[in-house]
Amino acid sequence: MKRLLILSLIVLLSTSTATFAAANNTSVKQQSMPNFQGQRPPINFDGQKPPKGPDFEKRNAEFEKRLNLTDEQKKQAEALRKQGFEKMKPIMDKLHEKHQQLRTLKEQGDNPEKIEQLKKEVQALKKEAHEIRMQNMKDFESILDKKQLKELNTIKEEGRKKFEQQRKQNMRNGMPPRPPKDME
């Protein structure tokens, strides 16, 4: 009986400590973030280079190494990336603007016809962005040889499996799946 009591006390303390640490970490992040009054922070596409995450360089180097890209292919890939960014910039700006308009209309709670029209415009912009991404992927694949294409397909398949595992993990943890496209 004492062992069970001690074990449950240890479990309780360890989970409460982890919960407190996670809650404390969240509050620190919230304090350091600027206040956008309930809105998403603005997307910045003003720079010359596409926005990159903190580990972009590392992931990109691993990707290039895994595909065994030549220096010429690396230059071509970077040019394609920049070209795709330039095509995507005006679409993303419009998309951001439409999302802001949609949020404003939803907060006001009136004019459902305008809300539906904006949703259709958002979907059209998302479709256009998707088409640009697919064309960029085709352009990138065109600079690869057969062996590199096979490795790229392997990388894609691994990414799909990882995504599916993460989705299943989120479902087990009680996180809801993403809403259908028409709900966004």
Torsion angle (degrees, nearest 10) of CA 158, 160, 163, 167: -130
pLDDT greater than 80 at residue 10: no
Q: How many residues in the chain?
A: 184
Report the pLDDT value the prediction gives residue 33, as an integer from 0 to 100: 45
Q: What is the mean pLDDT of the chain?
A: 78
Q: What is the DSSP letter of 44?
A: -
pTM value is 0.61
95: which 2 tokens? 């998309």
Residue 77 burial (CB count, 10 A) = 19
Q: Which amino acid, residue 74?
A: K
> Helix 71-108 to helix 112-142 angle, to the nearest 10 degrees?
170
How many angstroms separate the CA atoms of 18 and 25, rounded? 10
CA Rg, the chain, in Å?
A: 23
pLDDT tens string 57-68: 888 889 999 999
Give whichever of 33-47, 95-109, 170-184 has the largest mean pLDDT: 95-109
Of 28-42, 100-114, 153-167, minimum mean pLDDT range: 28-42
Cβ(77)–Cβ(85) below 8 Å = no
pLDDT tens string 70-128: 999 999 999 999 999 999 999 999 999 999 998 988 888 878 888 899 999 999 999 99
Q: Where are the alpha helices (DSSP H) in 109-181?
A: 112-142, 146-172
